[in-house]
Amino acid sequence: MGIMAELGSAMALVCIIGLAAIIAGLGLHRIIGWCIEGSISGAACILIAGIYAGAIISAIIARTMVMAITILILIALISILIPILSGKMDRASLKSLNDEKICRYREAIEANPENLAARSMLAKTLHSDGRLDEAIEVMEELVRRTPNDYIEAGFLKKLTKERDERNSLRRHSNKGA
């Protein structure tokens, strides 16, 4: 009976080690991705990996099963929070990328006011960045320069409809306040 109990305890330990490694691996995967993208420094990546390793080792050498499970729960919670943080970092990164694109498109238009492709991309980037009114201004100028381009005219119509809906919602929310 003693051998079976030890074997069961060893199997539980192996399961805990495997589970901890899998859970930590999910979070570490995203953290390493941030490091590669340049969102966090290599030192921060190493520090976080060290914390995960310490947590896994703590789960392995825990004196009781309750302590090991508690550590696993903490690792899991951290791994759940990482994607939430990841989404915020990705949005900030996209905003920065959009700002850079907008600057480049404006420079291209300044260098050549007839650069219709740059105007179109500027409007689309402004729209994706949430700058609807600016996007409409750029599209109005583009449609004025290319009156027979029905695709761009359709996009302008979509943007103005979106603006009208936004303004309508604002008016309704102001009436309720």
Residue 54 has pLDDT above 70, yes or no: yes
Q: pLDDT tens digit string along 111-161?
A: 999 999 999 999 999 998 889 999 999 999 999 999 888 889 999 999 999
Q: What SS3 class is residue 40?
A: coil
Determine whether domain 112-176 maps to CATH 1.10.10. no
Check: CB of residue 24 under 8 Å from CB of residue 56: yes
More confident call, 126 vs 14: 126
Nearest to 80 by CA among 33, 17, 18, 24: 24
Q: pLDDT tens digit string along 67-122?
A: 877 877 887 777 777 767 766 666 767 777 888 999 999 999 999 999 999 999 99
Check: CB of residue 72 under 8 Å from CB of residue 23: yes
In this prediction the pTM is 0.52
Q: Retrieve residue 92's tokens.
A: 């900030």
Residue 48 has pLDDT above 90, yes or no: no
Q: Give the pLDDT of residue 3.
A: 56
